[in-house]
Structures are given as C-alpha cells and as structure tokens.
C-alpha cells in the first residue's frame, strides 16, 4: 500500500480528530483487501499531485459552508459516524451497508485523477476507492434502471451549511447508467493514503473525473437506479448554467465565464482545459452523436 510522505502540518490540522483517530482501522481494512497503489496501476497520471494541504483546505462543499475555506474550517462540526449507504430502486437485490462492511466487501484501489471545477480551477488527487460498477453489479440492476440517482446526507446538526434555506437539501446528483458503469467512475473513501477528510466528502463520495466537480457528490447515503433522468441540485436551481451531463468541455462556456483555461491549484499560470478533462480516450464513445452544446 502506498503511503505518502508526511506533510509538514500535523494530521489533526488537516483532518478532524475523530477521523484521524480512526486512521489505523481504515489502513488495516485497506491492507486486508486487494489494494492497488496508483504508482503501479493503470490510473497513474504522471502529473505532479496537488499538495495535500491545498486539496484539504480549498474545497467546494456547501454543506460545510459557501466559501472555499469554510469546509475545512467547519470540518470538526461533522461526525461521519454512524453511516449507512442504501442501494436500491430498479434493482433485483437492494441492500444497505454500514461503512465498515462497505470497505470490507469492495477491494480498494488508489487512483490519481484530475478534478476540474466549473469555476476553472483544478487539482490532481490520489483517491482511494472502489469502482461504482462493483456496487451496482452487487444490486443487479433491472432493465428499467437507466440512470443512477445519488443523495447526500441531510442532517443540519452535522452539516451546518444545510441550515441555509437558499438551497434545496439534500444535495442530489445523477448519472446515466453507462457513465456510472464506466471503469473511471469510483466511490472514494480516502485520499493521499488516508481516510477521506470531512471537507472532501467523508466518509464516501462519488468521483467522476471527466465531469465538473459538482457532479462528484459528497457524503453519499443513497444510490438508486431509476428509469427517468433524475433531477439534480444545481440543475433545479440554475438549469441554464449546470446541465445534467456537465462534461468538461473547453468549447462550451459557462454563461458567466470561459471554460477554455483552468488554473491548477498551486500554479500561477493557467493552462488549456482538456476535453473530458483529459479522459477522452476512455469516455468520448459514451457521447457519440450527441449535440454537446445542447447536452451540456
């Protein structure tokens, strides 16, 4: 198992204490399954990784605050235990697992992925997780399951940002089934060789690396197969700005800014935005024949 060098900060400064104390249990679970480090696997990018400090202190997570710095500042307010994940809907074998069972059943891998946010900033993060396809196959989707709907935890006591009445809670997202089954799509439970910090979506979040970051819903409690395209939080609030597909596409601008360039966190200069965030070889076939301006 790949363990990153220790950052200069103490662990308690970047991870809530109740999570850090649970680190040994997480690592022992990971060691007991087929953990594949990215350095020797098919998901290594060969790009410099964003520093752990930056990746855990500059976040979009409305449930813990609206500014980029608020989630890490408010992370101690969130206790991710107890936790269960429900998988259901149009499936033959619905099930519910607590977090410990989730990690024991699904072998963990480390994958280094780009994360591109709609505000034109990006990171390169070593995620620890398992393919979403493994979760869905266990439930055995029926022929009526065309889409996957995700819901985050709704608990204003643990997630104080949910007291803001301007947003519709819980946060919800969705994928087409073939997107969800793509090998790149994972459920992440850790990053940088450690358990997932609260500000990054603890204890389990979606990671879809070819889409803008708001599609990668955090703190997931429900995964359901549905027949019709599910509603999404930002799609309901601002449909002209946040389409269902939300693929990284430099040729389609956000109504209020260009998507042609991005700034990698930690860099000064901007770089060109890559189509599908650089994963075109793996996912472009999913959208063959589609109008990518209409299906933004």
User: What are the tens digits of pLDDT across the range 43-98?
Assistant: 778 899 999 999 999 999 999 999 999 999 999 989 998 999 999 999 999 999 99
Q: What angle do CA 13, 194, 69 make, to 5 degrees?
A: 40
Superfamily of segment(s) 11-287: Oxidoreductase, molybdopterin-binding domain (3.90.420.10)
Q: What is the average per-residue pLDDT within 266-293?
A: 96
- The reported pLDDT for the residue numbered 192 is 96
Q: What is the average per-residue pLDDT within 176-195?
A: 97
141 vs 24 pLDDT, higher one: 141
Q: Where are the alpha helices (DSSP H) in the chain?
A: 11-14, 17-20, 23-31, 52-55, 70-73, 99-105, 132-139, 177-181, 233-237, 280-283
Please state whether the predicted TM-score (pTM) of the whole model is above 0.85.
yes
User: What are the tens digits of pLDDT across the range 148-159?
Assistant: 999 999 999 999
User: What are the tens digits of pLDDT across the range 20-58?
Assistant: 445 545 555 554 545 566 555 667 788 999 999 999 999
What spatial distance separates the first Cα and last Cα of the chain, rounded to whole Å? Answer: 38
**What span, in angstroms and rounded, lies between the C-alpha atoms of 131 and 187?**
6
């Amino acid at each position: 198992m790949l363990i990153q060098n220790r950052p200069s900060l103490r662990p308690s400064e970047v991870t809530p204490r109740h999570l850090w104390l649970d680190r040994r249990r997480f690592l022992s679970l990971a060691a007991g399954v087929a953990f594949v480090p990215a350095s020797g696997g098919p998901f290594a990018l060969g790009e410099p990784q964003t520093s752990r400090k930056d990746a855990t202190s500059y976040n979009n997570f409305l449930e813990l605050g609206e500014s980029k710095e608020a989630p890490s500042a408010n992370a101690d307010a969130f206790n991710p235990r107890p936790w269960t994940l429900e998988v259901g809907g149009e499936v033959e074998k619905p099930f519910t697992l607590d977090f410990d069972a989730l990690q024991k059943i699904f072998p963990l891998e480390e994958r280094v992925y780009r994360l591109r946010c709609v505000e034109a900033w990006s990171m390169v993060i070593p995620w620890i997780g398992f393919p979403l396809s493994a979760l869905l196959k266990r439930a055995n989707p029926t022929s009526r399951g065309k889409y996957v709907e995700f819901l985050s935890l709704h608990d204003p006591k643990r997630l104080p940002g949910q007291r803001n009445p301007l947003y519709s809670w819980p946060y919800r997202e969705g994928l087409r089934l073939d997107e969800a089954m793509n090998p790149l799509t994972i459920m992440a439970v850790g990053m940088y060789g450690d358990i997932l910090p609260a500000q990054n979506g603890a204890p389990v979040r979606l990671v879809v690396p070819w889409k803008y970051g708001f599609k990668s819903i955090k703190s997931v409690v429900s995964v359901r197969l549905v027949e019709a395209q599910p509603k999404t939080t930002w799609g309901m609030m601002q449909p002209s700005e946040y389409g269902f597909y939300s693929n990284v596409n430099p040729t389609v601008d956000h109504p209020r800014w260009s998507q042609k360039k991005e700034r990698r966190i930690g860099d000064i200069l901007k770089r060109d935005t890559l189509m599908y965030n650089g994963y075109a070889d793996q996912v472009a076939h999913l959208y063959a024949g589609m109008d990518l301006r209409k299906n933004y």
